[in-house]
Amino acid sequence: MHISYYMYHLEFNANYGTIGQRNRAGALLRITFEDGLVGYCDCHPWIELGDLPLSKQLLALYHSSSTPLLNCSLLFARIDAQARQHKRSLFEGLEIPPSHQLVSLSDDIAPFTADEITFFKIKSGNQPEEEIKTLSSWISDHPQIKLRLDFNEKLSRNEFLYYWKSVPESVKQCIDFIEDPYKYEPDYYTEDQEQLDISFAVDKSSEKALEFPQSAEVIVHKPAVDLPPKFSSSNTKLVVTTYLDHPFGQMCAAYAAATLKAQYPSQIHCCGLLSHKCYQGDSFIQSVQSSGPNLIPSKGTGFGFDELLKEVPWQSL
């Protein structure tokens, strides 16, 4: 197997709450497999979420070692290679689910609602008073929207319950789910979900939460680092999201969401696949298109971007 790479940098449009640095680094990978097939993938680590830094990811790849991120990346590269061999798009015959839009507290959501986007995700828990004030204002101006609050387990259970008491009823009525409100514990999640009459979503402990379907109504699946989930309950909803990575990784997540929708049509909820709107434009980001809440597949073979990938200055690993 021969590997080439290209280091890229992305810059967020805004401060999205608990997310790390405004400038993000990752690497596109071109994999030539032993049978001669060539496929592409993305490697975009989040050290804040426990991933090894990019340099160590590439070193592990060089030494044929594995990480959760690399395992998934190489699987996507193989899928991409097989599709490119047959000169077909991986999105043929598939339907990408609609998505929410990640926003910051400083965003004007009016342009998004005008574009018929209804679901909004907010990284929460950093500035409770400002958050609640902003959410209340949004609901007042746009009562049709649905909110997804992601706390990234930053609060204790008591801190979350105190936060929840401060949320006006008008806002509570518009909340679709609360993601990772505090460190996952099945019994507490089950109790609070019932007592507070809200839906919890689990991301960080999604694999464990699948074993306790009563503890979370929603499972968040990130194909960049998670293997396809196995449901034990037909009532569990699945939200597939990008890793806020490169547009190539974005298309990999969209493909995973579309294939899961084909398998579990009644369980796939509004996803999180519009991450290109969170970054300042480069040639790849500018090539990504969406219509309202719907991501449009990139043109080309495999996961797309055929012409742009030809222009990349690849280096041998």
The model's pLDDT over 26-70, given as tens digits with 9 standing for 90+, comes to 999 999 999 999 999 999 999 988 999 999 999 999 999 999 999
Answer yes or no: are the C-beta atoms of 49 and 150 closer than 8 Å: no
Q: Specify the residue for token string 């798009």.
A: 89
Residue 224 confidence class, pLDDT cut points 50, 70, 90: very high
Q: What percent of the chain has pLDDT over 90?
A: 91
The radius of gyration of the chain from alpha carbons, rounded to an integer in Å, stands at: 20
Across residues 300-309, what is the average pLDDT? 98
Whether the predicted model's global pTM rises above the 0.85 cut: yes
Which CATH number applies to 101-296: 2.40.50.140, 3.20.20.120, 3.40.50.620, 3.40.50.720? Answer: 3.20.20.120
Give the pairing type, strands 2-11 and 315-316: antiparallel
Q: Which two tokens stand for residue 70?
A: 């690399």
Q: How high is the pLDDT of residue 44?
A: 98
Find residue 50's DSSP bridge partners.
none
The model's pLDDT over 159-186, given as tens digits with 9 standing for 90+, comes to 999 999 999 999 999 999 999 999 999 9
The model's pLDDT over 115-174, given as tens digits with 9 standing for 90+, comes to 999 999 999 998 889 999 999 999 999 999 999 999 999 999 999 999 999 999 999 999
For the beta sheet containing 237-240, the strands, ordered from the edge strand earlier in sequence to the opposite edge, are 101-102, 119-123, 146-150, 175-179, 200-202, 218-221, 237-240
Give whole-number Cα distances, 52 to 34, 66, 242, in Å. Answer: 27, 11, 18
> DSSP letters along 137-181, please?
HHHHH-TT-EEEEE-TT-B-HHHHHHHHHHS-HHHHTTEEEEE--
Residue 19 confidence class, pLDDT cut points 50, 70, 90: low
- CA 90 to chain centroid: 19
- Ranges in the chain annotated CATH 3.20.20.120: 101-296
Give the C-alpha separation, 210 to 225, whole Å: 16
Find residue 315's DSSP bridge partners.
5
Terminal-residue alpha carbon distance, the chain: 11
Say which CATH superfamily domain 2-89+306-316 falls into.
Enolase-like, N-terminal domain (3.30.390.10)
Nearest partner of 78 among 42, 37, 107, judged by Cα: 37
pLDDT at 195 over 80: yes
The model's pLDDT over 253-280, given as tens digits with 9 standing for 90+, comes to 999 999 999 999 999 999 999 999 999 9
As a whole number, the mean pLDDT across the chain is 95
Give the C-alpha separation, 26 to 5, whole Å: 10
- Ranges in the chain annotated CATH 3.30.390.10: 2-89+306-316
Q: How high is the pLDDT of residue 127?
A: 87
Q: Which residues have CB under 8 Å from 308's CB, separation 6+?
A: 283, 284, 287
Helix%, strand%, coil% for the chain, nearest 5:
35, 25, 40
Q: How high is the pLDDT of residue 311?
A: 96
Give the C-alpha separation, 157 to 163, whole Å: 10
pLDDT at 20 over 80: no
DSSP code at position 227: P
Where do runs of H (alpha helix) occur along the chain? Answer: 54-62, 68-85, 110-114, 128-141, 157-166, 169-172, 186-195, 206-209, 247-263, 283-287, 306-311
Give the C-alpha separation, 175 to 105, whole Å: 16
